[in-house]
Amino acid sequence: MQKHPLIVGALMTLLAACSDEPTTPGAPTTAATQTRNAPADMRYPIAKTVVQNDDYHGTTVSDPYRWMEDLDAPDLHAWIEAENALVEDYLHDAPGRAEIKSRLTALWNTERFGVPEKHGNNYFYARNDGLQNQSPIYVQEGIDGTPRLLLDPNTLSTDATIALAEVGISADGKNYAYSLSDGGSDWRTIRFRDVVTGTDRNDEIHWAKFTNIAWAHDASGIYYSGYDAPSGENQLKAINKFQKVYFHQLGTPQTTDRLVFERKDQPDWGFSATVSDDGHYLIITGSEGTDERNRVFIQDLTQAHSPVTALIEPLEASYGFIGNVEDRLYFRTDADAERSRVIAIDLAHPAKADWQTILPQSDANLVGVSLVNQQLIAQYLRDARSEVKVFALDGSFLRDLPLPGLGSAEGFAGASSDTETFFSFASFATPPVIQRYDLVSAQVSVFKAPKVAFDPADYATQQVFYPSKDGSRIPMFITSKRGLVNDGNQPTILYGYGGFNIPSTPRYSPAVIAWMELGGVYAVANLRGGGEYGTAWHQAGMKLHKQNVFDDFAAAAEYLIAEKITQPSRLAISGRSNGGLLVGATLLQRPELFAAALPAVGVLDMLRFREFTIGWAWESDYGSVNNADEFQALYAYSPLHNIKTGVDYPATLITTADHDDRVFPAHSFKFAAALQAAHPHGKPILIRVESRAGHGAGKPTDKVIEETADIYAFLSKTLQMTQ
């Protein structure tokens, strides 16, 4: 099921400061290139203001930086250029900046692999030699075959900002369809490569977005999802409505693609298509925004001109297609099971009363299931840690899959007839090791393992639980060098997300290793709103309950301080996307807890997020300003609208990108301008705007290293770290 939530990222977030009555400070109307006094001889670029007042249910809200929503405005370009220059000026003397970048480069410079997919007798996987900006794709014939290069995305642009996104491989392994993201955009161009010759066909598809690539069983073409081409507005800003499913037949122009499914009466419905392993059925998932609940439609592909019909139409629960055995379809669902279960639907008797429970809900959260070798591989989260179990198709337990410790296992793809599958296992200090699982012998072996420039045994991760403001028990991972002394003096990054039913599980990043080598501690709080514990946990951080997420995050900081892991003067908070909102809101509510904030690509204007690209889809999690009670809740914590003058906010480095069409960059522009105007003589408030980059996925390695080095240089200076 292809969705478009606010993506969880690696390491960045923002801070919070208290505000009882929201205000929107402005600055004198003047050219964006003028400056005024700021801290430590810093001079912030002045952002002009305009008169813009909006009425929300009788409440008048000022929006003086509305002009920043026009990405083509000359004043905006001048302001961005001046802000980027200010960041460079501030960081040029940061302690150890050059050494930090050098070490990050060395840590990134290790061979790494993606999880293989098998189609026919061919195995496909990504491999990066370390510093390649994009990971090339390799194919080998047979498990012991010699790998050969199939596709190198680094050759598609001079600056490596065209990235490989979605992939679809025909069942016979002879056709490789791939989508490309240009400059980080969510818009996709789909191309087709002949696996045998390694050359592209002439076919090309444009204006695909939030799509799967699903091959017809006979490899005659693909099913994909797309929108009409945007018109009359910047394509990175235009609102996306009326998604459709198409079929593209190989060797034909896109103009002749067959419309498979649409709903002209439902502009907010999105669709994602999957073809069953045996090629008999097209399964279309129908979603509304980022709501976890969905509908299911089906088409019998064995019958010419068969209609698409509704299999599950009420929007009551989440249904993820797992696979089928003839006319028996398996789904993972949270219907009547908040931690999810597996059901089977017989198409001869599809009524809900006839559904059969195969795997009932357990005490752990079921987050993924695959059907391989006529067995169900079930992936669970227990307190945000992976567990994997294998069951027969009748639900009888076969075995636990042994995992090497606290971490995250991902993968397990394959066809129902395959006898093997692949998965990766990683933790905070252990990079992903690619494992092969033989479902006949039940043996696990290493397929590919990276060699790293550090000893993972030098680091340790502990999981703790702490009470939030309302007494809820919240888990948190704390990773550091072994032998950490709790003297309250450790520089610490606290990361969080807390939204869209997305769990924060143990992840490896060279950036985390570099931070710990600098003497830092890395903490990840598993906040409500995420996907760690199922439906109730998610709903406890949604809409009118969103404040719980900020309270959970602040309580994590209080725990780290109380346990003498760190102190406010040594603590930074970090988050990306929805996590950028988390940092922004918490920064404004509890500024006394933190010394630095790192909000990245954040949703920071909670009154206008619905006006840009796919932002309307997030109302399922955030609520809508069109509803009076939800408006009040949004207004109460919206970072842009809760900035106060005279408050000692933490040092803040906001990061965004000019091609982010997931979270429109004006969120960050407006927040930075307002915070600088309200905070002209306090700790530094900076914004770093990346060019030719988007929300994060597909960002070139050199840009990732450069940005991370700047963030750590910022922290080394603001937290007064020594090398």
Q: Give the C-alpha separation, 101 to 378, whole Å.
A: 40
Instruction: Give 349-413 as a 3 state SS string.
Output: ECCHHHCEEEECCCCCEEEEEEEECCEEEEEEEECCEEEEEEEECCCCEEEECCCCCCCEEEECC
Q: Give the C-alpha separation, 120 to 140, whole Å.
A: 11
Task: Kindly report the backbone phi and psi dihedral angles of residue 708, in degrees, each rounded to the nearest multiple of 5, phi listed first.
Answer: -65, -40
Helix (H) or strand (E) holding 667: helix 666-678
- Is there a contact between 453 and 533 (Cβ–Cβ < 8 Å)? no
- Report which residue type is found at 309: T
Cα angle: 664, vertex 633, 542; to 5 degrees: 75
- Is there a contact between 79 and 65 (Cβ–Cβ < 8 Å)? no
Cα angle: 11, vertex 462, 99; to 5 degrees: 40
- Cβ neighbours of residue 470 under 8 Å, at least 6 residues apart? 548, 551
Question: What tokens does 582 get?
Answer: 């988390």
Q: Looking at residue 648, what DSSP letter applies? A: -
Q: Where are the beta strands (DSSP E) in 75-147?
A: 112-113, 117-119, 122-128, 137-141
Three-state DSSP at 182 gives: strand
Helix (H) or strand (E) holding 579: helix 578-589
Q: Give the C-alpha separation, 560 to 464, whole Å.
A: 10
The angle, 0 to 180 degrees and rounded to 10, between the axes of the packed helices 701-718 and 97-108 is 140
Question: What tokens does 21 get?
Answer: 């009555």
Q: Give the C-alpha separation, 290 to 620, whole Å.
A: 6
- Report which residue type is found at 307: P
Cα angle: 307, vertex 313, 319; to 5 degrees: 105
Cα angle: 47, vertex 79, 714; to 5 degrees: 100
Catalytic residues: 577, 695
According to DSSP, the residues that pair with 192 across neighbouring strands are 177
Helix (H) or strand (E) holding 651: strand 651-657
Secondary structure tally for the chain: helices H, strands E:
10, 41
Q: Which of 189, 190, 176, 180 is nearest to 139 (CA)?
A: 176
Instruction: Please state the separation of Cα 168 from the chain's center in Å.
Output: 20
Q: Which of 477, 463, 506, 714 is nearest to 596 (CA)?
A: 714
Q: Which of 290, 298, 256, 306 is nearest to 274 (CA)?
A: 298
The CA-atom distances, in angstroms, between 427 and each of 388, 407, 658 are: 16, 4, 32
DSSP per-residue codes, 455-499? -GGGEEEEEEEEE-TTS-EEEEEEEEETT---SS---EEEE----
Question: What tokens does 553 get?
Answer: 């995050």
Q: Which of 86, 7, 21 is nearest to 673 (CA)?
A: 86
